[in-house]
Amino acid sequence: MNGSACDTDAAYRARLRASRNQRRAAVFIDKDGTLVENVPYNVDPAQLRFMPGAREALAALARAGHPLLIVTNQSGLARGRFTRLQFAELQAVLEQRLRDEAGVELLDVLVCPHAPGSRGQPSCLCRKPAPGMLLRAAHKHCLDLARSWMVGDTLDDVESGRRAGCRTVLLDSGGETVWRLTPLRWPYVRCTEWDAVAQAILGDRLRALVIEGGQPHPSKAG
């Protein structure tokens, strides 16, 4: 190996380190049953109600420098329950209300418009529990998935976060009913209130790691 090749390698590694340091730790947030009350197939802005403490928690996470993104399954689009325009109008109201009521600007909103297959099998790469929306967002916005968090009210949310290599919080608001627990579906942290979610992400990472250590910890899925 000659000197110039080594220099090139060193420069490359330095650039890689620098770009990794610039990657931001995001918080991915499920919409229905997590950020807002779950009203199935709702596109009526009048029925948007934030979950208790959600606005305050998002404001705290944003103040700490975390980019905030919504990742949401909306099979109502594939099922013809509402149109993309109707959903876009709901999304605009949701984003504006977060600005007005929490001072929060979302970095992005990612939507899976697909339905699962007829026997419930995956029919796309983005519908949670698949990690496609998180991976796409990370690439687009230069996010550090290993330092990012996924917050959701179902184990499908947890699994999508784990498959993307993120830490996960289950906000147990009653959305999960099946409790089909596999190693990929263990949350790192389980909370029943948004206040505790923000604490877990902001102040109590050490405790989160301890909890993680007590759970089955599968290697990252490909």
Question: Which residues contact Zn ion by CB under 5 A?
Answer: 112, 114, 124, 126-127
Q: Least distance in Å: CB of 71 to Zn ion? A: 11
CB of 177 to Mg ion, least distance (A): 12
Q: Does 159 bind Mg ion (CB under 5 A)?
A: no
Count of C-beta atoms within a 10 Å radius of residue 14: 10
Catalytic residue among 7, 30, 144, 195: 30
Catalytic one of 32, 153, 156, 157? 32
Strand partners, 71: 110
Sign of the torsion formed by the C-alpha atoms of 210, 214, 219 and 222: negative
* Residue 32 interacts with which of Mg ion, Zn ion, none, CB < 5 to 8 Å by class: Mg ion
The residue from 77, 149, 150, 153 that contacts Mg ion (CB under 5 A) is 153
Q: How far apart are CA 200 and CA 191, in angstroms?
A: 9
Name the minimum Å distance from CB 74 to Zn ion. Answer: 9
Residue 187 binding result from Mg ion, Zn ion, none, given CB thresholds of 5 to 8 Å by partner type: none
132 binds Mg ion, rule: CB under 5 A: no
Token pair, residue 135, equals 């991976």
124 vs 196, beta carbon nearer Zn ion: 124
Name the binder of 30 from Zn ion, Mg ion, none, CB < 5-8 A by kind.
Mg ion
Q: Confirm or reject binding of residue 32 to Mg ion (CB under 5 A).
A: yes
Is 176 one of the binding residues for Mg ion (CB under 5 A)? no
Q: Which of 25, 26, 28, 30 binds Mg ion (CB under 5 A)?
A: 30
Q: Which residues bind Mg ion (CB under 5 A)?
A: 30, 32-33, 153, 175
Active site amino acids: 30, 32
